[in-house]
Structure 1
Amino acid sequence: MSEHLGETYLQTFLRPVVGLDSEIDSDFQRTLTVASSTAVLQAMATFDPRVSERSFRIFKMGQDGFVQALKAIEGKSFATASLRDAVRPITDQLADTPEHQGLALSVLTTMAELASGSGTLVIIDDENYFYNVGYQDRIQSSGRSYGVSGNRKLLDATDNDYLTAITAYLGQANADPASFFETLLDILTNTDTRGLRGMDDEGRAVITDFLTVYTAELERNNMADLSPTKWAWQTDLAEVTLIAAYGGASGLVMKDGQLVQGPANAYYESGGIGNTRAQFMHLSRLITQYMLEKHPEQVFRLTALTPLTNSDVLAAVDGDALRRFMVFLNRSETQDEAAANAAALTQAMVQYLGTVRTEHEAVTAYIRKSLAD
């Protein structure tokens, strides 16, 4: 990623030939010979234990069912693009429930591909990196991404894993998370990872898992031509992360239209963050309204830095300053302007989040009054 300093993360992702999307597509076109089931299990034994546990539990007979499916393809050569079709009848038969058939297919193929030398490696820095494996264009359920950070072994962090991590890292014990948000935003606006050097191991792991999940969801959103709503789960992930500046300090989340005590995991439902989009956007819009009343210059600054003119895009933003910021960073037509204003974008958002966190008690009182009215 250091070779792309000065580009937005979306530019790094979309760049022809050497961009992440291009590399992921190229990897998917290669031919691979599937490693033996023994080699796959040996590789998995070096990963975070959660990878094996989650992989085996969705198969009938657990690990034995997983291995049975592997044995049907071990030693055979496939164009990577054809592997899913070849193994689907097997995983459909061996998945523990019909609802898990698609997941079993994705898990088995990506484990086989990763252990067989497939995958696009993204190096964040010397100790933090992630792999992207098995993404097939227009099939949003395909592919998985796996992150490694310091002493934390390879893991395909779920949305729920990530929300648990940010609840802990951005909670009240973190007196000033400004450096975390600055590092994260520097990466999104400028592909600048240098801020990781000053972070502790926990912070680096959170950033790594964010980028791992964010890139997976960006790949899926790109299959929908970067729609601001369809499969826009990277935007959801980022918004929930930014809104944790308030939630971590207050201990409050939006649930069923009310502020309630709870961790960020409240925004995980039915397998993903995107299923609670209406909840956290409602909270973010109310925070935006508070900031417009108390600190209008900060909202105006963010608005000026994120010009959006498409009516459908503006409708998706719907008065939410955090959503507007992230949608702006995920539109191909805005990238030159975003790159030119990278430092200003980061600084403006860090200031906004810092104010919201510092004034979280006043924000809470304002929101409760607004909901009561």
Structure 2
Amino acid sequence: MNHRSLRILPFAFFAASACTVAPSEAPPERAVSVEQHETIASLHLRHAHALSDFEGNTFLEAMSMRGGIKESLDTDEATHFAFASPATLHAVESNFDPQVRAKLSRFMKDGAEGLDELVEALAGQQTTPAGAPGAIGTQLENLDLLANHDAIGLAAVSLSPFLSLASGAGTVVRVHANNYYYNIGYKPGSSEPAELAKHVKSGRSFGAGPMHRALDASDVFYLTEMDHYFGEETSPEDFFRALLQILLRCDASGYARLSDEGQTVATDFLAIYTAELDRHLMSGLAQHPWENDLAEVTMLSSYGTPSGLVRVDGQLRRGTPKDYFGVGHTGSGIGITRRDRMALQRAVTDAERTLHPEVVRNLESIVGHRGGDAMHAVMLYLNDADTQRDVRRNGGRLLEAVTTFLTRIHDDASAITDRILSE
């Protein structure tokens, strides 16, 4: 593919975290919060939601209902905006983690100065999130700004989310206090397989919390920071309770019990989870359940982090959650390692079924699956369009049952490992 055809790549070719994103850098140092607990205000975007607006609904309902999050993502993709002026961009770019601009400046042969020149050339030009990469690619080529001209397509696609969000495009979801995330460039999905394959690769999401400003967290970034956080906590109970309250009834009040680091990890989870659930909804929940993979690897890490064990290539070995990020023939992501991970999920569930049968039995009685992998059963139950009324009705019981199960597999990690190795 030559640079001219790359220049006009549509927004659909934004790399999807579930299937095309290469692992990014490890999380930044977590010693102190952003600007010593300074309030972090989000950008004022045309499409905005507060999670509390959906309270009482499941997160799947908040995504899929009329006036919900997915409707905003679908609408925004084709909504016109004008590229921001250099002054406007510099005024809002402090909303983003410094590494965002630093990564983008590396595409330019003159670094940050080249990025400023691009912004000045684009200022005022009307486009849409779908058309932004083409407009950016044209200016990159006309101004000869790139250090590597052959990378013009990649550069245009990489620059587009930041420049579009800074110009007022995109959708923001406010979670709790200093926690929110941006979404930009998601296509609506299609019943035609070839189109769907392109659409699920669209879009980017940027999470922001007390520990970092808006940052496009990759799977590897999230898995690393989550493992670090779990390793410092004596119990993951409050973290899972906070997340489950959101998934079950869009209630973010559990954030108040989390540390700054816990809040930030939870928000990065939600940013990625929203992206993956949107991709699942693009197929009418028939294909690409990558949000389930993300949630299940997070649940499994309640055992995996204290045990220090993962399952890779059919073998239990030392490792961390980021080992569940895999690279396949057509993409990469957590779903690539699904077979190994789910085998360990089943083994952990079976061991806990022996150690504390009442805990597993109680959980299975709610989700309607007996035997096998309890973590997978929970996510199938949560993200089935036909179960949402039951999920709301059973929300309180399910919250307690799942939280108890995940806390138990954390506390029973050594005993679970002994049982797995003895089989």
In which range does the TM-score fall when normalised by the shorter chain? 0.7 to 0.9
1:284 aligned to which of 342, 345, 362 = 345
Say if 2:340 is the partner of 1:274.
no
Shift of 1:166: 1.1
Aligned equivalent of 1:155: 215
After superposition, the C-alpha distances for 1:240-278 in whole angstroms (9 at most, x for unaligned) are 111111012111111222222222111123352222222
Is the 1:106–1:141 Cα contact (8 Å) retained in structure 2? no
Aligned equivalent of 1:122: 173
What are the residue-to-residue correspondences of 1:211-222 with 2, within 5 Å?
211-222=270-281
Aligned equivalent of 1:83: 132
Amino acid of the residue matched to residue 364 of structure 2? Answer: T
Shift of 1:156: 1.3
Is the 2:129–2:184 Cα contact (8 Å) retained in structure 1? no
Aligned equivalent of 1:237: 294
Shift of 1:39: 4.4
Partners of 1:182 and 1:14 in 2: CA distance: 23
Partners of 2:207 and 2:105 in 1: CA distance: 20
Amino acid of the residue matched to residue 30 of structure 1? Answer: T
TM-score (structure 2 length as normaliser):
0.76
SS state at 2:380 partner: helix
Cα distance change of structure 1 residues 361 and 157 upon mapping to structure 2, 3 Å threshold: same
Amino acid of the residue matched to residue 179 of structure 1? Answer: D
What are the residue-to-residue correspondences of 1:1-373 with 2, within 5 Å?
1-17=51-67, 19-36=68-85, 39-40=88-89, 43-57=92-106, 73-87=122-136, 104-138=155-189, 139-150=199-210, 152-171=212-231, 173-227=232-286, 230-270=287-327, 271-307=332-368, 319-370=372-423
Amino acid of the residue matched to residue 200 of structure 1? Answer: S
Partners of 2:90 and 2:172 in 1: CA distance: 21
Amino acid of the residue matched to residue 361 of structure 2? Answer: F
Shift of 1:107: 2.5
- Over the aligned positions, Cα root-mean-square deviation in angstroms equals 2.9
Indicate the structure with greater helix content. Answer: 1
Cα distance change of structure 1 residues 96 and 263 upon mapping to structure 2, 3 Å threshold: farther
Structure 1 stretches of 4+ moved >6 Å: 89-102
Shift of 1:197: 0.9
Unaligned stretches of 5+ in structure 2? 1-50, 190-198
SS state at 1:29 partner: coil
Mean CA deviation greater in 92-101 or 317-326: 92-101
After superposition, the C-alpha distances for 1:122-148 in whole angstroms (9 at most, x for unaligned) are 111221111111112231222111122
After superposition, the C-alpha distances for 1:183-240 in whole angstroms (9 at most, x for unaligned) are 111111111110111211111111111111111111122112223xx33221111111
Fraction of identical pairs, as percent: 35
Cα distance change of structure 1 residues 83 and 297 upon mapping to structure 2, 3 Å threshold: same
Shift of 1:61: 6.9
Size of the aligned set, in residue pairs, is 358
Is the 2:118–2:140 Cα contact (8 Å) retained in structure 1? yes
Partners of 1:163 and 1:98 in 2: CA distance: 33
